[in-house]
A and B are shown apart, each in its own frame.
Chain A
Amino acid sequence: MDSPASLGLYGRLLGARVRSDWQYRTSFITLLFSQALVTVLEFVSILLVLELVPNLGGWTPTEVAFLYALATVPFGMADLLMSSVERTANHVQAGTFDRLLLRPLPALFQISAIEFELRRAGKLLPSLGVGVWAVANVDVAWNAQRVGVLVMAVLCGAVIYSALWVASASVSFWAVGSREAANAVTYGGQAANQYPLHVYRNWVRAVLGWGIPLAFVSYVPSQWILDAENPLGMPSNLVVAIPVVTVAVLVAALGCWGLGIRHYQSTGS
């Protein structure tokens, strides 16, 4: 599968999904409309909250906003493209996962497209808004290196979150009911990752740094790009580890997924 062709194919599968939704257009439109409303409200409320945030361990409110955006933008991207793997549990339970295995495409590629939901873009937009605002207002001399690290951090972050989703969806090949427990990892980790790491107790720091390494998504690159206070005394070249951590997490997640598929039992009749 070469990449331009698979991009086109992804587009077609998405198109099929949207046209299917359009068959039930009243609920489709209602959902989009309510999501748009929630999105606007969320954006306004974030700005209001950031106004009130005190200095968190030496980080200014703008710096916290930057960190917040660097945690939530990749999360939104991963949510839009990969959180559809959550639906694996439903397909496993109904036995409809069979169909994905009969086509000459990776199952992840297919499930991402066929379970795509446009309304998830609603989570991404307010985060992007905050991000743009923070980049414009933060006290940083932007240069090629900083922009490079920022882009890398966003992309690697999206991959890390996606990988967490894939890993937690893999659980459904063994036990369909345990999906909620697995979700605690993705959503819980995400919620914790929206604040600077140094405000947490040691065990939370250890989990976010080394367990589910979400600190590498936002705290590590934010601290480096902003040259912000470093109460934890992280080595200054820790950003170099971001792609390494990303690849490690991705490999582990794909391993779980592959193992899960081999363990897939389908359903009778």
Chain B
Amino acid sequence: MSDQPAITLSDIGKTYVVRTKAGALRRHRNEVKAVDGVSFAVEAGEMVGYLGPNGAGKSTTIKMITGILTPTSGRLRVLGLKPVAQRRMLAKHIGVVFGQRSQLWWDLPLIDSFDLLHHVYATEPGRHKHNVAEFIDRLDLGEFLTTPVRQLSLGQRMRGELTAALLHDPELVVLDEPTIGLDVVSKHAVRTFLQDVNAQRGTTVLLTTHDLDDVEQLCKRMLIIDHGRVLLDQSVADFKKEHGTRRTLVVEFEHVVDPVQLAHATVARCEGPQQWLSFDRSVTTAAALISELAELHAIRDLSIDEPEIEDLVRGLYKS
């Protein structure tokens, strides 16, 4: 199993059929092409980011990979299995996290879900105990283990979801927007944990996100998808070199001043005492710019705008 890719998609398509009411009995039949000829492979042990704006087709792809949805066209293999036809066998070997949807028993204490999953996956008891102890320690679950899941904060719940998805030692973990809506601390916890799982257990990881930071910090390789098609498939390092280095520094001065003149930044926008300075991270740093600015005028507030995935996708279409 180790010499073949963990996931192979060859020209995969998915068309949803949507029926809308048009009068008492008549229905309109609409087709939505959510995924349109996607091909890529993920090697065992890789950690790949699957990026795209809202509605790009990320979740649809994940649902086909995990055997929830039947592809309309194309060929799909996951861990050497056909996801829909061999769904239950595949389920034993993969872990799945949906950021928007819980896999836990909503009304029961978190620890009960772990115990139930132990039996659902028939995990060897020693292995289960070891994993539970390890994940409680790493993800700091101790404080809320006996709290009903519905009472957990999003960050706490997500840490529970990650544990639930990994308790049965899956070879592949698939995560759909695992960091969506999380605060900075929980995001960091999730990222560090995934990195460790990938590095120490050799688990293959495929994660979707619309947060570029997730990918920059976690993955060596990324794919960008939009309107159901793969726009880009390259190493994160190359991507950063080509696209990911422009940043915007937003400064608010104490008083309204003329647009500043700096060697390595240009004023993109000016609004009262606020100015938007665009700069290239490979040429200068935000810290250098800030010290230059501080010598010119008194500063009230500062922030750095990260590029949004939507902007990047727009850029990709242009180039």
Does A201 lie at the interface of the complex (its beta carbon under 8 Å from any beta carbon of B)? no
Residue in B68, B100, B108 whose CB lies within 8 Å of A20: B108
- Quick one: given A5-B122, A95-B101, are A101 and B107 in contact (CB under 8 Å)? no
Residue in A8, A19, A99, A104 whose CB lies within 8 Å of B88: A104
A20 and B120 form a contact (CB under 8 A): no
Residue in A12, A20, A265 whose CB lies within 8 Å of B69: A265
Tell which of B45-53, B89-97, B285-293 binds the partner.
B89-97
Closest chain B residue, CB of each to CB of A21: B107
Closest chain A residue, CB of each to CB of B93: A104
B68 and A9 form a contact (CB under 8 A): no
A265 and B17 form a contact (CB under 8 A): yes
Residues of A contacting B101 in the complex (Cβ-Cβ under 8 angstroms):
95-96, 98-99
Residues of B contacting A147 in the complex (Cβ-Cβ under 8 angstroms):
none
Q: How far is the CA of A95 from the CA of B63 in the complex (A)?
A: 12
B107 and A20 form a contact (CB under 8 A): yes
Does A269 lie at the interface of the complex (its beta carbon under 8 Å from any beta carbon of B)? yes
B68 and A104 form a contact (CB under 8 A): no
Residues of A contacting B16 in the complex (Cβ-Cβ under 8 angstroms):
265
Q: How far is the CA of A103 from the CA of B118 in the complex (A)?
A: 12
Contact with A along B45-85 (1 / 0, CB 8 A): 00000000000000100010011111000000000000010
A12 and B107 form a contact (CB under 8 A): no
Does A105 lie at the interface of the complex (its beta carbon under 8 Å from any beta carbon of B)? yes
Main secondary structure of the interface of B (DSSP, over half): mixed
Residues of B contacting A232 in the complex (Cβ-Cβ under 8 angstroms):
none
Q: How far is the CA of A19 from the CA of B109 in the complex (A)?
A: 10
B103 and A105 form a contact (CB under 8 A): no
B68 and A98 form a contact (CB under 8 A): yes
> Which of B92, B100, B105 has the most chain A CB within a 10 Å cutoff?
B105
Min CB gap A13→B, angstroms:
7
Q: How far is the CA of A104 from the CA of B121 in the complex (A)?
A: 7
Q: How far is the CA of A232 from the CA of B181 in the complex (A)?
A: 68
Contact with B along A89-113 (1 / 0, CB 8 A): 0000001101101111110000000
Closest chain A residue, CB of each to CB of B148: A23
Q: How far is the CA of A266 from the CA of B18 in the complex (A)?
A: 12
B100 and A269 form a contact (CB under 8 A): yes
> Which residues of A31-61 have CB atoms within 8 Å of chain B's CB atoms?
none
> Which residues of B96-140 have CB atoms within 8 Å of chain A's CB atoms?
96, 98, 100-101, 103, 105-108, 112, 116, 119-122
- Quick one: given A12-B119, A105-B88, are A264 and B68 in contact (CB under 8 Å)? yes
**Interface footprint category on B:** 20 to 34
Does A207 lie at the interface of the complex (its beta carbon under 8 Å from any beta carbon of B)? no
Contact with A along B261-301 (1 / 0, CB 8 A): 00000000000000000000000000000000000000000
- Quick one: given A16-B116, A102-B91, are A262 and B84 in contact (CB under 8 Å)? yes
A13 and B63 form a contact (CB under 8 A): no
Residues of A contacting B106 in the complex (Cβ-Cβ under 8 angstroms):
20
> Which residues of A50-90 have CB atoms within 8 Å of chain B's CB atoms?
none
Residues of B contacting A98 in the complex (Cβ-Cβ under 8 angstroms):
63, 68, 98, 101
Q: How far is the CA of A94 from the CA of B24 in the complex (A)?
A: 24
Contact with A along B250-266 (1 / 0, CB 8 A): 00000000000000000
Min CB gap B83→A, angstroms:
10
Residues of A contacting B243 in the complex (Cβ-Cβ under 8 angstroms):
none
Does B240 lie at the interface of the complex (its beta carbon under 8 Å from any beta carbon of A)? no
B148 and A266 form a contact (CB under 8 A): no
- Quick one: given A19-B112, A23-B148, A265-B17, are A101 and B100 in contact (CB under 8 Å)? no
B63 and A266 form a contact (CB under 8 A): yes
B68 and A23 form a contact (CB under 8 A): no
Q: How far is the CA of A241 from the CA of B108 in the complex (A)?
A: 46
Residues of B contacting A5 in the complex (Cβ-Cβ under 8 angstroms):
122
Q: How far is the CA of A157 from the CA of B48 in the complex (A)?
A: 52
Residue in B68, B91, B96, B105 whose CB lies within 8 Å of A16: B105
Closest chain A residue, CB of each to CB of B69: A266
Contact with A along B156-168 (1 / 0, CB 8 A): 0000000000000
A interface residue numbers (CB < 8 A to B):
5, 8-9, 12-13, 16, 19-20, 23, 95-96, 98-99, 101-106, 175, 262-266, 268-269
The 10 A-B pairs at the shortest CB distance, nearest first, are namely A20-B107, A104-B91, A104-B92, A23-B107, A104-B88, A101-B68, A102-B96, A262-B70, A98-B68, A9-B119
A sample of 29 inter-chain contacts (CB < 8 A) reads A8-B119, A9-B120, A12-B116, A13-B116, A16-B105, A16-B108, A19-B108, A23-B108, A95-B101, A96-B101, A98-B63, A98-B101, A99-B101, A101-B68, A101-B87, A102-B67, A102-B91, A102-B103, A103-B91, A103-B120, A104-B88, A104-B92, A104-B121, A105-B120, A175-B19, A262-B70, A263-B70, A265-B69, A266-B63
B interface residue numbers (CB < 8 A to A):
16-17, 19, 59, 63, 66-70, 84, 87-89, 91-92, 96, 98, 100-101, 103, 105-108, 112, 116, 119-122, 148
| Contacts A19-B112, A20-B105 supplied; 5 other A-B pairs, CB < 8 Å | A5-B122, A16-B116, A19-B107, A98-B68, A105-B88
